[in-house]
Amino acid sequence: MPATPHVEQHFTAGAIVRDTVIGMSDGLTVPFALAAGLTGAVDAAPLIVTAGLAEIAAGSIAMGLGGYLAGRTDVEHYANERAREEVEIAEKPDVEAAEVLELLQGYGLTAEESRPVVEGLRKRPEAWRDFMLRFELGLEQPDPARARTSALVIATAYVVGGMIPLAPYMLSASAGRALPWSVAVTLTALAVFGWVKGRFTGAPPARSALGTTLIGGLAAAAAFAIARLIS
């Protein structure tokens, strides 16, 4: 009977999930805390909506720009290290060969088992360069388009998350009446978001849901209490 092909299932959207987590977690928490804090000071839902929308716009731009700059930095760092490895292989091949031997022996290979690998890499400078980048420096070649994608995902997730705590204020003229609904829908969204995040990242979903809910709830409660004390 023909053997069933072995297909390994790996999660490959880690970068997108990471960016979604960054944007969504801040998008849910910061506007939620802002709205709760303002409610502790004024009972004017239109004012809170205006302030919340301004914060969402500013926050999404700032977070998206941060994601873009981080992506560009990864690309530039990889290019610089690749150029450095190319120079070292060309100018100090014996030193680099000794480093390959040391790396392979760190994985349990003997010197005799490692030497054929070293000799093979000597004949292939580009493969040797990539080997050193991956196993010596722990670098993977980043996608040049990653910076733009990261910025878009983070900014979009921030906007989506931020609209959830503001929605009740958009539907009510009284901030005092809107606050309990905002708390309910936002804490529910935080719990669902934490659960989904846990499923994607491999963390216990219940613990992840509890953690995100507690963080968002504490931030909003602190903002509300401080506003009440000051006002």
pLDDT digit string, tens, across residues 120-159: 888 888 888 888 888 878 878 888 788 899 999 999 999 9
Lookup result for tokens 């420096």 = 137
| Inter-residue contact 182 to 165 (CB < 8 Å) | yes
What is the reported pLDDT for 52? 92
What is the reported pLDDT for 139? 78
How far is it, in rounded angstroms, from Cα 58 to Cα 79?
32
pTM, two decimal places = 0.75
Concatenated DSSP letters of the chain = -PPPPP-------HHHHHHHHHHHHHHHHHHHHHHHHHHTT---HHHHHHHHHHHHHHHHHHHHHHHHHHHHHHHHHHHHHHHHHHHHHHH-HHHHHHHHHHHHHHTT--HHHHHHHHHHHHT-HHHHHHHIIIIIS---PPPTTHHHHHHHHHHHHHHHHHHHHHHHHHS-S-HHHHHHHHHHHHHHHHHHHHHHHHHHHTS-HHHHHHHHHHHHHHHHHHHHHHHHHH-
Encode 136-174: b = buried (16+ Cβ within 10 Å), e = exposed. Answer: eeebeebeeebbebbbebbbbbbbbbbbbbbebbeebee
What is the reported pLDDT for 7? 43
Write out residues in the chain with pLDDT < 70, as ranges: 1-14, 201, 231
Q: What are the extents of the domains in the chain? A: 14-71+146-230, 80-136
What is the reported pLDDT for 231? 64
What is the reported pLDDT for 112? 80
Model pLDDT for residues 197-212, shown as the tens digit of each residue: 777 767 788 888 888 8
Per-residue CA distances from 214 to 142, 188, 210, 217 (Å): 35, 11, 6, 5
Other CB atoms within 10 Å distance of the CB of residue 74: 18
What is the reported pLDDT for 11? 43
How far is it, in rounded angstroms, from Cα 102 to Cα 123?
19
Report helix angle 14-39 to 175-201, nearest 10. 160
**Residues in CB range of 231: below 8 A, 6 or more apart:** 40, 41, 42
One-letter amino acid at 36 equals A
**Residues in CB range of 168: below 8 A, 6 or more apart:** 178, 179, 181, 182, 185
